[in-house]
């Protein structure tokens, strides 16, 4: 899927970057790993012989989670990578990036609206 992600996240393009991720992951039924609606199963289960063992569902979940985390990382610039250093799961990385960069996008949106308003007022005194 990496070749389908053409935009790398910078401080000024969060909405464009996010817009390429959502349809791709939705089409692969993977968005739930990022938005948290597919939570991690318990890593261990008690088997029929009453012995604790690795949960195969967790192993499968972890494989998908780490693949998505790698996909996220491959679409980040050095600047944006610094925001997710040390995070080990895709959901946490996604929500951290969203919290950090969506605020900047909203601020930029408000700034542009303000500039448009001033231009309009200057043209129509």
Assigned token pair, 63: 């494989």
Rg (CA), the chain: 20
Cα separation of 4 and 33, whole Å?
19
Mean of pLDDT over the chain: 88
Backbone φ and ψ for 45, nearest 5 degrees, come out as: -135, 160
Contact yes or no for 55/67 (Cβ under 8 A): no
Q: What is the per-residue pLDDT across 63-75, written as a single tens digit (0 to 9) for each? A: 999 999 999 999 9
Asked if 53 contacts 64 with a C-beta cutoff of 8 angstroms, the reply is: no
Q: How far apart are CA 36 and CA 111, in angstroms?
A: 31
Quote the pLDDT of residue 123: 73
CA dist list (Å): 13 to 8, 39, 89, 116 = 8, 28, 23, 20
pLDDT one-digit tens code per residue, 75-92: 999 999 999 999 999 999
pLDDT on residue 48: 85
pLDDT in tens, 27-36: 999 999 999 9
């Amino acid at each position: 899927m990496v070749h389908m992600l053409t935009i790398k996240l910078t401080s000024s393009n969060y909405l464009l970057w996010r817009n390429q991720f959502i349809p791709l992951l939705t089409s692969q039924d993977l968005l739930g790993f990022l938005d948290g609606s597919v939570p991690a199963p318990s890593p261990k289960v008690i088997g029929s012989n009453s012995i604790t063992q690795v949960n195969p569902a967790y192993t499968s979940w972890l494989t998908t989670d780490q693949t998505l985390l790698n996909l996220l990382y491959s679409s980040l610039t050095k600047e944006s990578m610094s925001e997710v250093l040390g995070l080990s799961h895709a959901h946490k990385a996604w929500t951290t990036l969203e919290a950090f960069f969506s605020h900047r996008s909203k601020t930029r949106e408000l700034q542009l609206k303000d500039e448009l308003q001033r231009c309009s007022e200057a043209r129509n005194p």
